[in-house]
A and B are shown apart, each in its own frame.
Chain A
Amino acid sequence: EVQLVESGGGLVKPGGSLRLSCATSGFTFTSAWMSWVRQAPGKGLEWVGRITSNGDGGRTDYAAVVRGRFVLSRDDSKATLDLQMNSLKTEDTGVYYCTTDEGVWGNGTSVIVSS
Chain B
Amino acid sequence: DIQMTQSPSSLSASIGDTVTITCRASQYIGIFLNWFQQRPGKAPHTLIHSAYILQTGVPSRFSASWSGTEYTLTISSLQPEDSGTYYCRQSYDVPKTFGQGTRLEIK
Contact = CB atoms under 8 A, between A and B. Distances in A.
A44 B100 contact: yes
Interface stretch (A13-21, A23-31, A76-84, A97-105): A97-105
Most buried by B among A61, A64, A105, A106: A105
Interface in B38-87: 38, 43-46, 49, 55, 85, 87
Contacts, number: 46
A93 interface: no
Contacts of B34: 103
Contacts of B85: 44
B91 A45 contact: no
B95 A44 contact: no
B44 A47 contact: no
Interface of A: 35, 37, 44-47, 50, 61-64, 97, 101-108
